Amino acid sequence: MGNEMIHEIGKDFFLLKSREKDFHRNIYLKRFIGAGGSSVNMICDPGTRLDITLIVGALKELIGGIENIHLVFLSHQDPDLTSNINVFLTGSPSAKIVCSIDTWRLVRMYGIEDTRYYAVENFKNKILRIGKTGHRVQFVPALFCHFRGAMMFYDLESKILFSGDFLGGINSRKGADVYATEESWSGISIFHQLYMPSNDALRETVQRIGLLNPIPDSIAPQHGDVIKGDLVVEFLTRLLTLDVGFDVIKKEEPQKELFLSAVNSFMDFVSAKYPAVHKTLLAELKKTGTFTTIFVIAGSSIIDIKVRAVEAITSLWDTIRTISEPGNLSELKTMLIQNLDNAHLMIDPSVFGAPGKEKAEEVIVEG
């Protein structure tokens, strides 16, 4: 396949991955092809105007063009997946939107006629039967994850569950591959702490996925990496005990002031001894244009965090490792740990990576 942004992740199931390095969008195309060659094409969460060039090129290669889209599935109403919906409805006059009623109430504000829409709730047992090809698609609610009407869809042919924002993540795994590794969990954890309301909501959705028969071979979220194999059950299990949203606020609030005091004392040290690192670090932490920023900055101080302390420290340290000279990392790590310890905050050493992760300066001992 000539287009490097196209990845076939299952039978006639394609991922079109946008080009952002930190927080990309995953747009999916499913081709339902019948025994006699008839076909129906569904695109899932079709992205933004920023993705049009990618999408048009990919659809031309895969199905002959945007005019051959028949169904547009929307997992929820956010503009990062709906803002170019009228491009699809204009480019393919016969295409229909498929989404929940709650999603439709907001998506229709784009000026879309009711005749262009199928409500998931109107399908018996939330199963869509595609008469033209004989395929079945099962819709699975993801209530309040992170929208009341959020909906997932399970392709029974490929055994891939398109999960929308559920199990989505920021890019914590390095490399060009599209499949999750253990490294992906950090990005999933941070994303869910930021955008999911409570662990109760997560547990409800995990339980709904557990009732699917058969259990999905792969879970394909709108952001982050495609999860497959043993990691499907592993990551779902971890979500059962992950504190997110209000859970984090309630449990972390008592120690947040101590944490902020410790981190800002460390930042004062960096400013005094490594001013260039301090300036670059602040610029990285303040970056706008991404809605996954986990630090709130005022002037040169960190005044709030949006996730648990362990994720905040991990993110801070990962940024420092990226921008600092290797020879300075040992002192920076020592001072960060010392400030946290002074505030009586116990941080697992694994937060800073495995021993030897930073390249230490060579020391020669002469006897």
Is the pTM here over 0.95, yes or no? no
Sheet holding 160-164, edge to edge: 127-130, 135-141, 151-155, 160-164, 218-221, 227-228
Predicted local confidence at residue 112, as pLDDT:
96
- What region, left, alpha or beta, does residue 37 occupy, with left being phi > 0 and alpha being psi -120 to 50 degrees? left
Phi, psi at 41, each rounded to 5°: -115, 125
Residue that the structure tokens 């648990």 belong to: 308
- Parts of the chain belonging to CATH 3.60.15.10: 6-239
**62 strand-pairing partners:** none
Joined tokens for residue 154? 């399970």
Per-residue pLDDT of the chain (367 residues; tens, 9 = 90+): 557 789 999 999 999 999 888 889 999 999 999 998 899 999 999 999 989 999 999 999 999 999 999 999 999 999 999 999 999 999 999 999 999 999 999 999 999 999 999 999 999 999 999 989 999 999 999 999 999 999 999 999 999 999 999 999 998 887 779 999 999 999 999 999 999 999 999 999 999 999 999 999 999 999 999 999 999 999 999 999 999 999 988 888 778 888 999 999 999 999 999 999 999 999 998 875 555 688 999 999 999 998 888 889 988 998 999 999 999 999 999 999 999 988 887 777 777 765 444 443 333 333 3
In CATH terms, the superfamily for domain 6-239 is Ribonuclease Z/Hydroxyacylglutathione hydrolase-like (3.60.15.10)
Predicted local confidence at residue 366, as pLDDT:
38
Predicted local confidence at residue 219, as pLDDT:
98
What is the rounded distance in angstroms from the CA atom of residue 303 to the CA atom of residue 208?
38
Distance of CA 188 to the CA centre of its chain: 6
What is the rounded distance in angstroms from the CA atom of residue 117 to the CA atom of residue 114?
6
